[in-house]
């Protein structure tokens, strides 16, 4: 039995700003691992750069913290080398939707069997508050005082159309919801993305905990059928708004599993690893004599 204690590293603790949404996601991830009773030695957390990207430092599983925007291809390599590992990618909205956009797009298309957990605080945290691809249009702040003219990217509708087979929105302020989503996403065979609303208490004065509490609606509790792709798409389009809204009191932000589908995952289509993971196939002797004969 894996317990929360097993996941604790005893020589350091998170240094996020007090109140940061990252704490809620961190806790939820640990709870999901415990509740699924995953062996920490068989879990790899892969992250990029950002406040969010530090999370793997503080969970006692295998961890790889790569470069800004690049955790997905690292995770893909790990999965192909050893698909017996549970691979979870942790990124920020800048990390995943800006710098790493190309990799994200292709990982979803491929249906790589990994879970992507995006800490979406609609801002760049670690570089002190610049716009991110999910910042609302018309927003301004101290780091970037000219109001942005770029409409926000919609990660969930993008994911549904690009071929992700598990698409959900979580919220750092609701760890029960977040834990459940993570458990479902980890169990899911294929590419699972959880875009997690994450208040950045230091740089984002608009999207606060209370702002979210007033707006989120759990679609699963409202009877949404996640296999209905058109409905899922419609829900995903509900937020973020593409235009600056006069009346954003009325915004409703769907959370929960919006879309789910069963489709052959990337590695299931690779015969080289049908019998065993690559990492278990290394041999001292590799006979290339037949290849030499071919060149005679």
Ligand X SMILES: Cc1ncc(C[n+]2csc(CCOP(=O)(O)OP(=O)(O)O)c2C)c(N)n1
d(CA 87, CA 115): 7
- Quick one: which of 8, 35, 84, 225 contacts other proteins (CB under 8 A)? 84
Output b/e per residue, 6-34; b: 16+ Cβ within 10 A: ebeeeeeeeebeeebbbbbbbebbbbbbb
Dig out the tokens for 62 from the structure: 């295998």
Segment contacting other proteins by CB under 8 A, of 6-14, 19-27, 165-173, 189-197:
6-14
- First-to-last alpha carbon distance for the chain, in angstroms, is 58
- Asked if 33 interacts with other proteins (CB under 8 A), we say no
Beta strands at 216-218 and 253-260: parallel, antiparallel or unpaired: parallel
Asked if residues 31 and 176 have their Cβ atoms less than 8 Å apart, the reply is: no
- Asked if 200 interacts with ligand SF4 (CB under 6 A), we say yes
Matching residue, tokens 């893909």 = 76
Q: How far is the CB of 69 from other proteins (least distance, A)?
A: 8
**How much is the CA Rg of the chain, to the nearest whole Å?**
20
Cβ nearer to other proteins, comparing 172 with 273: 273
Q: According to CB under 6 A, which residues from 115 to 154 bind ligand SF4? A: 121, 125
Q: Which does 37 bind (CB under 5 to 8 A by kind): ligand SF4, ligand X, other proteins, none?
A: none
- Asked if 267 interacts with ligand SF4 (CB under 6 A), we say no
- Asked if 20 interacts with ligand SF4 (CB under 6 A), we say yes
- Asked if 115 interacts with other proteins (CB under 8 A), we say no
Dig out the tokens for 54 from the structure: 């530090």
Q: Which does 63 bind (CB under 5 to 8 A by kind): other proteins, ligand SF4, ligand X, none?
A: other proteins
Cβ nearer to other proteins, comparing 64 with 233: 64
Binding residues vs ligand X (CB under 6 A): 49-52, 68, 92-95, 119, 121, 123-127, 132
With a CB cutoff of 8 Å and minimum separation 6, the contacts of 252 are 215, 216, 217, 238, 239
Matching residue, tokens 């609609």 = 122
- Quick one: which of 66, 125, 152, 256 contacts other proteins (CB under 8 A)? 66
**What secondary structure letter does DSSP report for 289?**
H
- Quick one: which of 5, 12, 145, 210 contacts other proteins (CB under 8 A)? 12
- Asked if 74 interacts with other proteins (CB under 8 A), we say yes
Q: List the beta bridge partners of residue 197.
A: 120, 171
- Asked if 203 interacts with ligand SF4 (CB under 6 A), we say yes
- Asked if 266 interacts with ligand SF4 (CB under 6 A), we say no
With a CB cutoff of 8 Å and minimum separation 6, the contacts of 240 are 134, 136, 152, 154
Which parts of 9-154 fold into alpha helices (H)?
Answer: 22-35, 71-81, 93, 101-110
Summarize as ranges the residues that interact with other proteins (CB under 8 A).
Answer: 10-12, 39-42, 44, 46, 49, 54, 56-57, 60-67, 70, 72-82, 84-85, 102-103, 105-106, 270-273, 278-279, 281-284, 286, 288-289, 291-292, 295-296
């Amino acid at each position: 039995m894996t317990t929360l204690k097993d996941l604790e590293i005893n020589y350091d603790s998170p240094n996020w700003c007090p109140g940061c949404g990252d704490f809620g996601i961190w806790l939820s991830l640990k709870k999901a691992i415990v509740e699924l009773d995953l062996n920490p030695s068989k879990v790899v957390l892969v992250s990029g750069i950002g406040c969010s990207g530090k999370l793997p430092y503080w969970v006692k599983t295998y961890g790889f913290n790569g470069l800004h925007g690049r955790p997905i291809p690292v995770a893909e390599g790990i999965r192909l080398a050893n698909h017996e590992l549970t691979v979870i990618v942790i990124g920020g909205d800048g990390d995943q939707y800006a710098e790493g956009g190309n990799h994200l797009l292709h990982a979803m298309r491929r249906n790589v069997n990994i879970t992507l957990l995006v800490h979406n605080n609609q801002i760049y945290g670690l570089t002190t508050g610049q716009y991110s691809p999910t910042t609302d249009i018309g927003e301004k702040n101290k780091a970037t005082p000219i109001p942005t003219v770029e409409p926000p990217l919609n990660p969930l509708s993008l994911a549904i159309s690009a071929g992700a087979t598990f698409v959900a929105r979580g919220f750092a302020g609701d760890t029960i919801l977040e834990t459940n989503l993570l458990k479902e996403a980890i169990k899911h065979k294929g590419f699972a993305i959880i875009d997690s609303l994450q208040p950045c208490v230091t740089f984002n004065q608009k999207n606060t905990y209370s702002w979210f509490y007033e707006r989120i609606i759990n679609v699963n509790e409202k009877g949404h059928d996640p296999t209905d792709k058109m409905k899922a798409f419609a829900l995903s389009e509900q937020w973020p708004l593409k235009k600056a809204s006069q009346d954003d009191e009325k915004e409703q932000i769907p959370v929960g599993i919006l879309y789910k589908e069963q489709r052959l995952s990337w590695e299931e289509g690779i015969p080289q690893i049908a019998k065993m993971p690559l990492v278990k196939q290394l041999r001292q002797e590799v006979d290339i004599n037949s290849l030499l004969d071919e060149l005679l």
